Structure 1
Amino acid sequence: MSSGGSTALKLNNILIFGLKLLVSAGSLYIVFSKNDMHQVGVTLTRIGPAAFLTASAMYIVSLLGATFRWKLLLPERFTLRRLFSLYMIGSFFSSFLPGVIGGDAVKAYYLNKDAKKLSLTLASIFMDRYLGYVALIGLGMLAFPFSLGLISGSPYKWAMPAIFGSFVIGSFLFFGLRLGKRFRVVSEFYEYFALLKDRKDVIVKAVLISVFIQIMSFGAVSLLAFAMGEHIPVKMVFLFLPIVSTITTLPISISGIGVRESVFVLLFGLIGVTSEAATALSLAWFFSSFVGSLPGLAFYIRHANKPEVKNS
């Protein structure tokens, strides 16, 4: 790539980051300006350290579960300790450098040092995320018919079915039509998927682990809400969080900051949760995950100061 092309790419990345930062900052400003932030602070203090740290621990347990899932999807015999450390490092970078260095990019960088095959590395990370999302929207759709009574008058009641339908169509286009198979890297992706398709036991185990991971996440939010004094029906947490996660995953903000708070206020407001309480719940969930990612720094320092050794 020429120096001119490299400069243009850097400027483009800076522009995209700036736009995302603008969306996050603007969203936070709107949410905070419309809330009584003193009341938000009071609500947060009700949680207490025990419930907060328990939610952080649940986040770490969910990462451990994700490590087991990732190991299932890797044909190479990487140790659980190795993969867990990569998950923690990825979580740390996602939390402390949001929008700058993605957690998946960090995991891919370190894993590829051992795998020596970029297509395998990227395909395993993609499938890890994909099966996690299958479980996420599956639980959301499971809760949907039981939740209609509480949001029947809102047009947002169709958000979960719309997301589910879009996911099914997208999956068909990607896997069914094998889009992009002419490109070598994408072609190797499909070779990996073809091998995995024949290992149905692995897929079933990975999905079951994904369900456990999502339940841990839903449980953490429910725990934080209960500690705040908000008695939110569990079925609504199961319905709303997949929508929140889907929207915050869209590359329009810095790791969903600001957008997440806005969606929390919108959705939980449908069932009578005050704007202040919804904002506090969103912030508490974010910061509990933030604290849960702190051990990733220790893993990163260890990796940075230790030569990479290929697993056998």
Structure 2
Amino acid sequence: MNIKIPKSIQLILKLLITVAAIYFVLRRIDLQQVVETFRQSRLALILLALVFFILSKLVSAIRCNRYFRSTGIKLSQIFNMKLYLLGMFYNLFLPGGIGGDGYKIYFLRKRFEIKTRNIFWAVLLDRVIGVLVIFCLAVLLIYFTEIQGIWKNLLWTLIPLSVVSAWFIYRRFFPIFSGIFLRTGLQSLFVQFLQILSALFILLSFGLSQDFTAYLFVFLISSIVAVLPLTIGGVGSREFTFLLGAQWLGLDINLSVALSFLFYLLTAFTSFWGIIYSLNPRFLGKSYLI
């Protein structure tokens, strides 16, 4: 028997987890020190971090459109980027299935005679390919950290295993998307390269001069956790992961959480511009086809 949890209960649970995660983090950091880290950060480097983050989202939008086109939805890149930004706005502020991904599915289903399940899988697999690449990069970075263990010598095998498994799943269950697996994988690699640069410039703005690899490893792990629908807008889950990761690797907890907070602020700042299309849908434009 399938037990379906009402959306109102899901929302309450997410809200409780969000509040609990934030409370847990705030109890274990020196908030004054985090604020001081922000105050002494170099604005020019933060602006560079913002530029690389925005570039990563532009590439993400192009990747997402490739999935749409595989279903038969031929959006122009300009319109797709507007829709992607609107989705980012909803993902940031709306919880549960009413978020940005749900809105994009609803929007496209109304305008195209395409099966809802195909649009759903396009949106979901766009996220999956991104998480796959993040996972592979995180595994690689482990070899440049001081993490020890017998298992470390075999961990690299997870990279080809996960890629081949994903490729098989695409071919077997999602044949309409199998032709773009490699290309979207490479685009995802570029996306993460840009986001790693964004995180790196944030660390440089804080004056960090060592242990970059360890911080970036935790950053990648937190990116995977933030994708999981555990909290509202991913708030709290990334910070919680940074806190635990910093404790595990012996990193500066306050600096780690400061990186998480600032990266979230860059995300929020960029996503907020989607409000333009939320308040004035006509700005999306009437011409959305290629």
1:55 matched residue in structure 2: 49
Q: How far did residue 87 of structure 1 move?
A: 0.8
Q: Measure, in 2, the Cα distance between the counterparts of 1:246 and 1:96.
A: 19
Of 108, 117, 139, which aligns to 2:137? 139
Q: Measure, in 2, the Cα distance between the counterparts of 1:218 and 1:254.
A: 24
Corresponding residue SS for 2:233 = coil
Query: Does structure 2 retain, via aligned residues, the 8 Å contact 1:114–1:308?
Result: no
Q: Letter of the 2:59 partner, please give it.
A: G
Q: Measure, in 2, the Cα distance between the counterparts of 1:162 and 1:287.
A: 35
Of 273, 280, 290, which aligns to 2:258? 280
Relative to structure 1, the CA distance from residue 310 to residue 35 in structure 2 (aligned partners, 3 Å threshold; closer, same or farther) is closer
Q: Letter of the 1:87 partner, please give it.
A: Y
Superposed counterparts of 1:122-161, under 5 Å: 122-147=120-145, 150-152=146-148
Of 170, 173, 177, which aligns to 1:196? 177
1:303 matched residue in structure 2: 281
**Which stretch of the first structure deviates more once superposed, 250-259 or 132-141?**
250-259
Q: How far did residue 228 of structure 1 move?
A: 1.0
2:78 matched residue in structure 1: 81
Q: Letter of the 2:29 partner, please give it.
A: N
**Which stretch of the first structure deviates more once superposed, 239-248 or 17-26?**
239-248
Q: Measure, in 2, the Cα distance between the counterparts of 1:59 and 1:226.
A: 15
Q: Measure, in 2, the Cα distance between the counterparts of 1:304 and 1:32.
A: 42
Q: How far did residue 124 of structure 1 move?
A: 1.7
Q: TM-score, normalised by structure 1?
A: 0.78
Relative to structure 1, the CA distance from residue 93 to residue 43 in structure 2 (aligned partners, 3 Å threshold; closer, same or farther) is same
Q: Measure, in 1, the Cα distance between the counterparts of 2:84 and 2:95.
A: 15
Q: Letter of the 2:143 partner, please give it.
A: P
Q: TM-score, normalised by structure 2?
A: 0.83
Relative to structure 1, the CA distance from residue 34 to residue 45 in structure 2 (aligned partners, 3 Å threshold; closer, same or farther) is same
Relative to structure 1, the CA distance from residue 34 to residue 64 in structure 2 (aligned partners, 3 Å threshold; closer, same or farther) is same
Q: Measure, in 2, the Cα distance between the counterparts of 1:239 and 1:204.
A: 24
1:94 matched residue in structure 2: 91
Q: Measure, in 2, the Cα distance between the counterparts of 1:233 and 1:78.
A: 43
Q: Unpaired segments of 5 or more residues in structure 1?
A: 1-7, 179-189
Relative to structure 1, the CA distance from residue 22 to residue 120 in structure 2 (aligned partners, 3 Å threshold; closer, same or farther) is same
Relative to structure 1, the CA distance from residue 232 to residue 167 in structure 2 (aligned partners, 3 Å threshold; closer, same or farther) is farther
The reply to whether residue 294 of structure 1 matches residue 275 of structure 2 is no
Alpha-carbon RMSD across the aligned residues, in angstroms, is 3.2
Aligned residues: 283
Identical residues among aligned pairs (%): 24
Q: How far did residue 32 of structure 1 move?
A: 0.7
Q: Deviations over 1:222-275 (max 9, x none)?
A: 111111122354433443233212223333222332222121012133443222
Relative to structure 1, the CA distance from residue 310 to residue 53 in structure 2 (aligned partners, 3 Å threshold; closer, same or farther) is closer
The reply to whether residue 221 of structure 1 matches residue 163 of structure 2 is no
